[in-house]
Amino acid sequence: MKIDTIEDSLERSESATISPKRIAFVGGYEPRRCGIATFTNNLCDAVAMAIPTAECIAGAVNDQVEGYKYPSRVCFEILEKDLSSYRRAADFLNFNKTDILCLQHEFGIYGGSAGSHILTLLKDVKMPVVTTLHTVLREPNQEQRRVMEELIFRSDRLVVMAQKGAEILKETYGVADTKVDVIPHGIPDIMFADSAYSKVQFGLEGRKVLLTFGLLGPGKGIEFVIEALPEIVRKHPTVVYLVLGATHPQLVAREGESYRLGLARLAEERGVKDHVIFYNRFVSLKELTEFIGATDIYLTPYLNEAQITSGTLAYVFGAGKAVVSTPYWHAQELLAEGRGRIVPFRDPQGIAGGVCAFLDDPILLEKTRLDAYHLGREMIWSAVAEQYLESFRHARSDRKSASRMAFADRTLASSPYNLPTLRLDHIVRMSDGTGIFQHAIYNVPNFHEGYCTDDNARAFILCNSLEEPSQLDHLATSYLAFLAAALNYHSGRFCNFMSHGRQWLEVEGSEDSHARALWALGFGAGRSKNTGHQLLCVQLFEHALPSVDIFTSPRAWAFSLLGIHEFLIKSPNNTKVTASRDELTTRLVSLWSNHATEDWPWFECGVTYDNARLCQALILSGDSASHAEALDIGLTALRWLVSIQKTEADHFRPIGSNGFYVKERTRAEFDQQPVEAQAMVSACLDALRITKDPFWASEAKRAFEWFLGRNDLGLPIYDSTTGGCGDGLHHDRVNANQGAESSLAFHLSLAAMNQSDHAISPRPAYPFNS
């Protein structure tokens, strides 16, 4: 890959005032059928028309492996769920000396947790970035906030389509007004005309036409319009309601056409089936223009207030049509001052009243249409393109005024960090319909040793850590079923060891194994995309949590806290679980207070196993519960743990399991266990996410590289040919057996690194948020 020299970067900065020669647009692109694809296509075309001297190219995001038959303007493609394709896209943009990148952002179109894969591209590109935010969440969840803050940081300018979006950026994310451009959603330039002319081709002469269009789904609220139709038809018998658009592809994949069929049944039940027409297809712009032309009143009965942009509303309003809408944010702003009718959410009577107010008063209807059409001239694509060009000029100017050396400081050391390709063959090989086997002889499952709850818990966490579908999806049910079978409902405790013949080998397992099972169940409750899995996890978690009250193992407290943290993602107001979190946090803080000294800042008199989990539990619980002391202890302890597990050669050396490290005694250097590296990776990445201190990124990377050969023997522990991981590092060799604990430790570490990939390299030094 070509790396720019300082001279290259200076030349680019000094050319900021010159019109851009190459502009790239990244988002969905037609013929993909989604609103973002249509928007990206239209914006790219409009900018190309506005600045014919520039080359406008597009990068299309594919939601299917086979892609689409794109026009020649699409010069590169990104596969939504393939992280490496984002890196390749960044290389393409850099190599071709793109002057400006215009990114379309919607959480749902990019891969990774909350669409985090796009951050990998933004981390690597060198040109100014103008990001159009199609959604701005006022109350994001933890992952959405993390992604949004990084997206804001790595964008030179932000574009929103309504003033409300700018307000949320300022109030929720602290973005300065000077970084935000409010540019309306572009619309085609449709001639103002009487709807009667267009009704003929649809056989609707003499009818009053109501229209809703867009991809169908339950959030559209169309059922409330159908509920309103009897009252509307009673007063205006010629009314017909057109519902135009295909059912959303993702909804079809999950539920088929049940929503549309339900609407049709509702129309029949209400006696208005002859007044409702469904057009179940995706329409071209030409067809859409014809339908809009035939419309008298447009309806957007959406159910969610937090919609900052509606392309359909913009299209119809700008064409000079009267609109009746529920008060979602975009509608509130666009239809203010009498430019349309706002009615309450889920209110058929309100919808009927709004529609009839226009149909009862033709003069009001015509005035509203004219006012909308005149304002809409500011929204046509040619006008919008000029505003985008102005935003591009600002972005390039901002880059020129920022520290030039910051942009030139791109060396091989700061190149993208390439992680191993995910290979789950060995995890699949180690699993059967019961669960995952504990041990292996080399890379062959060892049936004699059977199964354990510890490893099935780890395997279930891995299934829910992978951001994309994988070979493990069907095995997640087996792992969870194992955990369910392991729980004794009478005692509230988990068994741990099971023979190959499916016989439990003990009445109850250790405190640590119980807590690991809780951790996995909390993870499933908070992150599983399978509703049945999620509900079972909640049930099992709530039944097993009270047993932790009598536990004395600090690691069991820590594992439980990690599970509680995940559980509270979806159920933050569960008072019993938050009470357990507070109690266990207090116990770990007390443990620290009783043992930590200036030269031994640790929880016990010995550093033994899964050490970083003690720190991680306090970091997460301290942050989420606003417990400053717990957070500070967790970070202090983790920093000390890092210092004693780093060699003079600057690689990671975990505490050895042959004696561990007892205070005032010599530490054991072998055997080194994969779970120690995994714990350090996870804890450091959580510390990075919370503190934003790049120190933790370096330490996570150092610990992960232990698996790859950056260790005392210079030998890889992870076997890329099998997808398994050796059971430890001895003083003279790698343990050749690839058991479940070790292999899962590697893959869990890789999953965590992939999720934080955009944060592993240092951030640039220039002030994006100013």
Range of weakest confidence among 106-115, 180-189, 424-433, 727-736: 106-115
Q: Is 214 left (phi over 0), alpha (psi -120 to 50) or beta?
A: left
Q: How many CA atoms lie within 13 A of 236 on its CB side?
A: 23
pLDDT at 292: 93
What is the pLDDT averaged over residues 489-514? 96
Nearest CA to 534 out of 507, 570, 564, 506 is that of 570
Q: In which band, very low, low, confident or very high, does the pLDDT at 666 lie, cut at 50, 70 and 90? A: very high
**Residue 356 exposure: Cα atoms within 13 Å on the Cβ side:** 17
Instruction: Give the separation between CA 474 and CA 726, rounded to whole angstroms.
Output: 25
Tokens of 523: 């993870």
Q: Rg of the chain over CA atoms, in angstroms?
A: 29
pLDDT for residue 10: 45
pLDDT recorded at residue 280: 87
Residue 411's pLDDT is what? 39
pLDDT (mean) for 283-307: 91
pLDDT band at 759 (very low <50, low <70, confident <90, very high): low
Q: What global pTM score does this model have?
A: 0.72
DSSP 305-336: S-----HHHHHHHHTT-EEEE---HHHHHHTT
Does the pLDDT of residue 1 top 70, yes or no?
A: no
Give per-residue pLDDT as tens, 380-402.
999 999 999 999 999 998 776 55
Question: Would you state the pLDDT for residue 17?
Answer: 57
C-alpha to C-alpha distances, 719 to 295, 394, 420, 446, nearest whole angstrom: 64, 50, 11, 18
Is the model's pLDDT at 405 over the cut of 90? Answer: no
Across residues 253-265, what is the average pLDDT?
Answer: 85
pLDDT recorded at residue 415: 47
Angle between helices 628-644 and 612-624 (to 10 degrees): 160
Contacts of 210 (CB under 8 A, 6+ apart): 225, 232, 239, 240, 241, 242, 295, 296, 297, 298, 299, 355
Checking if the pLDDT of 217 tops 90, the result is no
In which region does residue 122 sit, left (phi positive, over 0), alpha (psi from -120 to 50) or beta (all else)? alpha
- For the segment 614-638, the average pLDDT, to the nearest whole number, is 94
Confidence of residue 282 (pLDDT cuts 50, 70, 90): confident
pLDDT of residue 673: 97
Beta bridge partners of 138: none
Q: 346-351, long-range: CB within 8 Å, 24+ apart, which pairs?
A: 346/221, 346/224, 346/303, 347/224, 348/224, 348/225, 348/227, 348/228, 348/231, 349/228, 349/231, 351/224, 351/225, 351/228, 351/299, 351/301, 351/324
- Round the average pLDDT of the chain to a whole number and report it: 91
pLDDT at 398: 77
Per-residue pLDDT, 468: 73
CA distance 414 to 1: 13
Q: Which residue has the higher pLDDT, 197 or 481?
A: 481
With a cut of 90, say whether residue 141 has pLDDT above it: no
107 half-sphere exposure, CB direction, 13 A CA radius: 14
**What integer is the mean pLDDT of 90-98?**
95
pLDDT, one tens digit per residue, over 313-348 is 999 999 999 999 999 999 999 999 999 999 999 999
Residues with Cβ within 8 Å of 533's Cβ and at least 6 positions away in sequence, in order, are 476, 477, 480, 524
**pLDDT higher than threshold 90 for residue 363:** yes
pLDDT computed for residue 286 by the predictor: 84
Number of other CB atoms surrounding residue 265 within 10 Å: 12
Query: How big is the CA angle at 745 (ends 740 and 748), to the nearest 5 degrees?
Result: 115
Confidence of residue 769 (pLDDT cuts 50, 70, 90): very low
Q: Token match 């992939």: residue?
A: 754
The answer to whether the CB of 752 falls within 8 A of the CB of 733 is no
Sheet holding 55-62, edge to edge: 74-79, 55-62, 22-27, 100-105, 129-133, 157-160, 180-182
Torsions phi, psi for 437 (to 5 deg): -70, 145
- pLDDT (average), residues 437-457: 97
Read off the pLDDT of residues 736-749 as tens digits, 9 standing for 90 and up: 999 999 999 999 99
Own/partner long-range contacts of 31-34 (Cβ < 8 Å, ≥24 apart) = 31/68, 31/69, 31/70, 32/60, 32/62, 32/63, 32/68, 33/215, 33/246, 33/249, 33/282, 34/109, 34/215
Asked whether the beta carbons of 453 and 516 are under 8 A apart, the reply is yes
User: What whole-number distance in Å separates Cα of residue 359 and Cα of residue 239?
Assistant: 10
- The upper half-sphere exposure of residue 17, i.e. CA atoms within 13 Å in the direction of its Cβ, equals 2
